[in-house]
Amino acid sequence: MKKIIAISAFSCVLGAPLWAESAAPLCSAYTTEKSDWSCFCPQKAAPGSVWGSGPYTADSNICTAARHAGVITETGGMVRLTTVAGQASYSGSEANGVITRDWGSFAQSISFPKPSASALAACTTLPTGTEAQSCYCPGDASKKRDVWGTGPYTADSNICAAAFHAGVIGAAGGEVRVLRVPGLPSYSGSRAGGVTTGDWGAYAHSIVFDRNGG
């Protein structure tokens, strides 16, 4: 029989931006006492058992479930989730390299709300003269855009395609903060995150992603 893990309460950081990792509690400290909260999954967090395909049973491993849902990748990151009503049954599936299991009735569930673009403009390329920008990437469709380099990227690269390549967002998309940095004499392309980037020569400016602060 499935064992329910006893979990302690923690101080939750609600409404934290995607890059506010240092202030957030670890997702391993999960508690169902909060209905809407944010936590942090470290890079290559240890995998755990997950039941369902969204919603998931409330005792599922948060970081593994978040990878299945496509809200983070192996690089980890901030996760926002809600505690919702239990289901009569849960169906497992395979997604984003994670296999989840079937389960019957369970009292509570967790769900990962999709980020809202309402407060941010959609990402395109970094505007000329702008040193930093926060914007929103809608999802997988934005992988099919031009990008050069492997981080840093040329400043005229599509921000979302570069963000997927860099692993700062998962399949569901999300908020990113991009910074302008000095250009390089050359850029080497590679494949990561479902995105193939191109080689390029010298370029005046580059972009990188702010993972730590706003």
Per-residue pLDDT tens digits for 204-214: 999 999 875 44
* Architecture per CATH, 27-111: Beta Complex (2.170)
Whether a cis peptide bond, with omega within 30° of 0, leads into 55 is: yes
Class of residue 179 by CB neighbours under 10 A (exposed 0-12, middle 13-18, buried 19+): middle
- pTM check: above 0.75: no
The rounded distance, in Å, linking the Cα atoms of 53 and 96 is 12
pLDDT digits 0-9 by tens, 37-96 = 778 888 878 889 999 998 999 999 999 999 888 888 888 888 888 899 999 999 999 888
For residues 15-26, b (16+ Cβ closer than 10 Å) or e, as one string? ebbbbbbeebbe
For domain 132-209, give its CATH number from 3.40.640.10, 2.170.130.20, 2.40.100.10, 2.40.37.10: 2.170.130.20
